[in-house]
Chain A
């Protein structure tokens, strides 16, 4: 768990708030990912960054905005979210196509 860290671990926000989730990896990897895990749904990939460039965006609403300033840090900026966006947001990293390592997640509640 210490290889990939996420902050905050829990976040409660109103629909008009702006907040950011942070992920940091200490594994020297060159790819980072954001996933969303909702109740009773499989994990869904949101964004992939490889070599600091966004490679995939699975049609995620624009109220989610990722940022990858360097290979060790990944942010997810949130604004005007909806209650259905409440979920566990997981960050992961990998070296190329190899094994992905996950952080502990941020439990987000949108009121």
Chain B
């Protein structure tokens, strides 16, 4: 059974810092990995999708990497802003089926 873990559970940084969020998964037979952002009480916004054959994806100040063999992904946020404050979720889709397995999320606070 796939298990996804995100560390740290919460993170507080001053504005302008570069930061890294971590995601690890136990079963490396994945189809893809997706990073989401969730604002309090709201739905999820997809940030980046990495296919199993890819090593990284970039969108603006965000860069996500994938190391399938070690069961890890990182989300790098450059020059953080207060508007980046949210919970960031990592989700893995295994090779079999449509099921996404989510991590518990990292709650990020960027202070002005």
Contact = CB atoms under 8 A, between A and B. Distances in A.
B46 A42 contact: no
Contacts, number: 61
B42 interface: yes
Interface bin, chain B: 20 to 34
A63 to B, nearest CB: 22
Interface bin, chain A: 20 to 34
A60 to B, nearest CB: 13
A104 B99 contact: no
A55 to B, nearest CB: 6
Interface in B83-100: 89, 91, 93, 97-100
Interface string A21-63: 0000000000101000000011111001010000110100000
A102 B44 contact: yes
A17 B62 CA distance: 45
A66 interface: no
11 contacts: A4-B43, A31-B98, A42-B103, A44-B102, A55-B98, A90-B43, A94-B98, A97-B32, A99-B34, A99-B49, A105-B41
